[in-house]
Structure 1
Amino acid sequence: MINFKRADHFQIVVPLERLEEARIFYTDIIGLEPIERPKFTSKGYWFNIANIQLHLNTEEAMPRTSRHNAFEVTDIAAARKHLENNGVEFLEEPLIPGRERFSFIDPFGNRIELLEML
């Protein structure tokens, strides 16, 4: 399980036909708590991450870009091991003094950065 401390920024989008698969990934693998979402014309889910919300919405599939969401965690090594154990794809990030970090790609092409302040 990933112990989230705070979110720097976030937006997750998935193709409409993969929305339920995304809900399962973000609840069962990532460990987010689903919360009630207001009724909108678009489909999606909302989750709690620490004291921030992540909104999962739908959009046509796009190629990978440098767009990403970043989350500070309390134990980056444990987060990495958990994701590795679940077969998640990683990207290494350039070093930034005072931070240990890496990115991963969710099954829907979203790049997500995890970081721990040193």
Structure 2
Amino acid sequence: MINFKRADHFQIVVPAERLEEARIFYADIIGLEQIERPKFRSKGYWFNIANIQLHLSTEEAMPRTSRHNAFEVTNIAAAREHLKSYEVEFIEEPVIPGRERFSFIDPFGNRIELLEMLK
């Protein structure tokens, strides 16, 4: 058995030629804190997101899939309005009782779900 403690990080990939554009999107539009990344052979950036990290690195573009990362937020309506102001593409998700949620596609084809637990 594996006794998990917490999620540490997740990775999002973008085409190498769009890496700086991705850094700006995640730092300036999404509002994540950029943190120091160890020196690796590959290029990329790391960010804090709640109590885990986002590791942004490069890979050739792939077709869109249902693979995604999901994050709980405290005000999903405000998150939607913020993203809408940047003309981000939305995907409406099927209803799950007790949750309000939607997904968006970042400018690099990555699907990200935001959700708020309803009381």
SS of 2:95's partner is coil
- 5+ residue gaps, structure 2: 1-6
Q: How does 1:1-118 map to 2 (within 5 A)?
A: 10-118=10-118
Higher relative contact order (CA 8 A, sep 6+): 1
CA distance in 1, matches of 2:47, 2:19: 14
Structure with the greater alpha carbon radius of gyration: 2
SS of corresponding position for 2:61: coil
Q: Residues 42-92 of structure 1: CA distance to partner in whole angstroms, max 9, x if unpaired?
A: 110000011111100110000100010101100000000000011100000
Give a deviation string over 1:26-51, Cα, whole Å, max 9, x none. 01100000000011111100000111
| Conserved 8 A contact 1:11-1:69 | no
Mapped to 2, the partners of 1:29 and 1:40 lie a distance apart of 26
Distance 1:11 1:99 in 2: 25
Q: TM-score, normalised by structure 1?
A: 0.91
Output the aligned Cα RMSD: 1.2
Code of the residue aligned with 2:35 in structure 1: it is I
TM-score of the superposed pair, with normalisation by structure 2: 0.90
Specify the SS of the correspondent of 1:63. coil
CA distance in 1, matches of 2:105, 2:61: 14
User: Structure 1: which 4+ aligned runs deviate by more than 4 Å?
Assistant: none
The structure with the greater share of residues assigned to strand is 1
- Measured after TM superposition, the shift of residue 116 of structure 1 is 0.5
Q: Match of 1:11, SS?
A: strand
Q: How many residues align?
A: 111
